[in-house]
Amino acid sequence: MHWLGRYRFLILALICFFWTGVIVLGHFFPDAPFISAPWRGEQSFEDLLRREGRKTPAPSDFVFLGIDQSTLQLPPLSGEEIASNRAFQLMTEKPFPWSREVWALLLDRLFGAGARLVMFDMIFNPPNDGDPAFHAALDRYRDKVVVGANFDMQNPNTLQEITPNNTLIPPPQLLDDRVGFVNFWADPIDGKIRAVTYRVTDRQLADLPSEEIYESLSARALAKIGHANDVPQDFRGHMIRFTSPDAFAPRPLYEVFDPKFWHSNYADGAFFKGKVVMIGSSAQVEHDTVVTPMSPTTLGPALHLQAMAAVMNHEFLRPTSAKIDLALVAAAGLVAWSLVAFLRRPLLCLGGLVLITVAYLGTARVAYDKIGLLLLTVPVLSALVLSGLFSLSFEYVLERLEKLRTRRTLERYVSKNLVKEVLENPHSYYSSLRGARLPVTVLFSDLIGFTTLSEKGDPEALVVQLNEYLSRMTSVVFSNGGTLDKFIGDGIMAVWGNVRSFGMAEDAKNCARAALGMRRELRNLNQKWRGEGRMGFGMGIGINHGEVIVGNIGSHERMDPTVIGDSANLASRIEGLTRVYGLDILVGATAAELVRDEVYLRSVARVQVKGKTKPVDILTFIGARNEEVDREFLKWLETYEEGLDKFRARDFTQAKILFSRFLEFYPDDLLAKMYLDRALRYEQAPPDEAWDAVEVFEKK
């Protein structure tokens, strides 16, 4: 234990270094179990920031016309509505994909209403009806329209481009400013899309010698609305700050062709003036959805709009660098070590760890919201918390070992529960030592005839025997929650309720359990000693309950935490009467009433001890109610108690009969014999009228 304390700073440093090292290793071995968990958890924390933190404002001029279920099926239309509407004719002639003349009609309608840009999150690869009409529209509005293309990445060595067919846009389509790729590249670990790639080269996509540069659908659209310079010019993924998941709610596309909705919902087209319109699938059956940190079902067309909004608002996220990450983890371990090593108060250390954790989380949130910085958090806080908690655990173990060493030393001289109270609640204990009146239960025990025995016996053997006896008895006191007040030669004074009380009744019951336990232990000891050829001991126990003064009594040189008062003195006097009545346990009436439901009691006498003016009833314990006792004796004890009542009521003839009847079954009972003799004597010569059955003792 001592060496742990001497090397405390070093051990704490090793604990913090170990956990910091474990976290750092997780950075270099991302697939290793356990140690990589904080780094994997960082992704989840960053996703939480994306969901709960500041969002990119959604441009008010972005509109998403979705090919939803209602557009695919169309509501019931009258023959006149279909006949008068070319788009509805084409949409009802065959199921989706319709004739591409529909898209030509849509472009005419939107641009006729003043739309700024129309984007198609669609490929238009296979030839289809209406391609010439759509081709003409794409040429007519070439500066205000963008359509999609796709890279098939199934074969890593082959780049397969899926583009609008040659009829619509002549090759090479991906170099035409009306065509942009619609691909998003998901995180390979969990399949979520967190970053947008605005420009790629074919060398990035496949092992090809050329290096053509291709732009995304969103990059093409941004260029056409005057934000070309805002688009990142590199070829890597850029983490974006997402808009709210419901920022670009799709509107049913068919409503644009329906005169009723065109008038009521779109103000005869005025709604679309200056708008950037995205056309794409919003029907679940089309499965054009992706997984993002914001939602597991983000619509693909809406994600393109989010990519554009991020560029227009310059809302890109950046993580801290690897060097800064490792420095932050190391700093967390150092902070944990400093906190525990120098503060040295567990609750304050724990509060400090919580405060630092909360402050760091707040900093991470502010950094995300204000400057788009993804401050490394989970590994840093893991290093802080693990280092701090394990350091605190070491401090706790060290403190417990030190307390245990101190307790074992003190318990050789002071009562166990007193030591416990001093170590665990020093302030309340020290305040009680100034003096207080408390109801307590006091036990005195003494060996009978030990003084005479000590004058004749071998001193060394007697000391060994006495120490064995005292060890067993004090062990019983401690196991029943008592305080060893002092040894008085071969006597023991114990108290319940002075250091810590469980209530008057429970304190008295604990004392009663201790007294019965001492009785059992002495029987076992005597049996053992006699088997070894040594003499046994006799013992007397006196118990009393009442109010005493609890305090630190003594001189400036030596103080003794003890109890003083009439109730304590009476317990000592009661113990002295055990020799008079030939019983090993006597208890005052107040204590007896508190334990009556736990112990079988027997009335003994009404006495007035030396120094007292008022008589008290004393009783004895037959045994605990949960122990094996002589049921026959308990039955005949009622006869004895009735005889004692008659005796105290001066009905000596009836008392004589009852005591005699009891003695027929228990002829060796000393109490019954004593009262029978007195009943016979008083029957012949009754006492005077002042007699109250009180026995007065002039000696201690």
Cα distance between residue 656 and residue 677, in whole Å: 8
- The DSSP line for 44-94 is HHHHHHHHHS--PPPPTTEEEEEE-HHHHH-----HHHHHT-HHHHHHHHS
Q: What is the pLDDT of residue 487?
A: 87
Q: What is the pLDDT of residue 75?
A: 87
Residues 6+ apart with CB under 8 A from 14: none
**Looking at 206-210, 315-319, 440-444, which range is the least confident one?**
206-210
Q: Does residue 559 register a pLDDT over 70?
A: no
Tokens of 110: 């939107």
Q: What is the average per-residue pLDDT within 32-40?
A: 89
How many other β-carbons are positioned within 10 Å of the β-carbon of residue 465?
Answer: 21
Strand intervals (E) in 62-178 = 62-67, 117-120, 145-152, 160-162
**Looking at 276-280, 310-314, 576-580, which range is the least confident one?**
576-580
Q: Does residue 103 register a pLDDT over 70?
A: yes
Q: What is the average per-residue pLDDT within 622-635?
A: 90
Q: Does residue 28 register a pLDDT over 80?
A: yes
CATH 3.40.630.10 matches 416-628: no
pLDDT tens digits, one per residue of 50-100:
999 999 999 999 999 999 999 988 888 888 888 889 999 999 988 889 999
Q: How sure is the predictor about 218, in pLDDT bands with cuts at 50, 70 and 90?
A: very high
Q: What is the pLDDT of residue 453?
A: 66
CATH 3.30.70.1230 domain extents, the chain: 416-628
pLDDT tens digits, one per residue of 150-175:
988 776 666 788 999 999 999 999 99
Mean pLDDT of the residues in the chain: 88
Q: What is the pLDDT of residue 287?
A: 66
Cα distance between residue 522 and residue 536, in whole Å: 9
How many other β-carbons are positioned within 10 Å of the β-carbon of residue 376?
Answer: 26
Q: What is the pLDDT of residue 407?
A: 62
CB contact at 8 A, 224 and 262: no
Q: What is the average per-residue pLDDT within 235-254?
A: 92
pLDDT tens digits, one per residue of 649-692:
999 999 999 999 999 999 999 999 999 999 999 999 898 888 88
pLDDT tens digits, one per residue of 376-421:
999 999 999 999 898 888 777 777 777 676 666 555 545 566 666 6
Q: Does residue 33 register a pLDDT over 90?
A: no
pLDDT tens digits, one per residue of 495-529:
998 888 889 999 999 999 999 999 999 999 999 98
Q: What is the pLDDT of residue 30?
A: 85
Q: What is the pLDDT of residue 700?
A: 60
Cα distance between residue 59 and residue 305, in whole Å: 9
Q: What is the pLDDT of residue 505?
A: 93
Q: What is the average per-residue pLDDT within 563-587?
A: 91
- The DSSP line for 280-334 is EE--GGGT-EE--SS-TTEEHHHHHHHHHHHHHTT-B-EEPPHHHHHHHHHHHHH
Q: What is the average per-residue pLDDT within 216-243?
A: 94
Q: How sure is the predictor about 434, in pLDDT bands with cuts at 50, 70 and 90?
A: low
Pairing of strands 62-67, 251-252: parallel
Q: Does residue 637 register a pLDDT over 60?
A: yes
**How far is the CA of 142 from the CAs of 136, 327, 568, 592, in angstroms?**
10, 52, 109, 107
Q: What is the pLDDT of residue 1?
A: 46
Q: What is the average per-residue pLDDT within 607-621?
A: 88
User: Could you give phi then psi for residue 440, rounded to 5 degrees?
Assistant: -135, 165
pLDDT tens digits, one per residue of 37-63:
999 999 999 999 999 999 999 999 999
**Residue with tokens 């307790």, as numbered in its chain:** 407
Q: How sure is the predictor about 309, in pLDDT bands with cuts at 50, 70 and 90?
A: very high
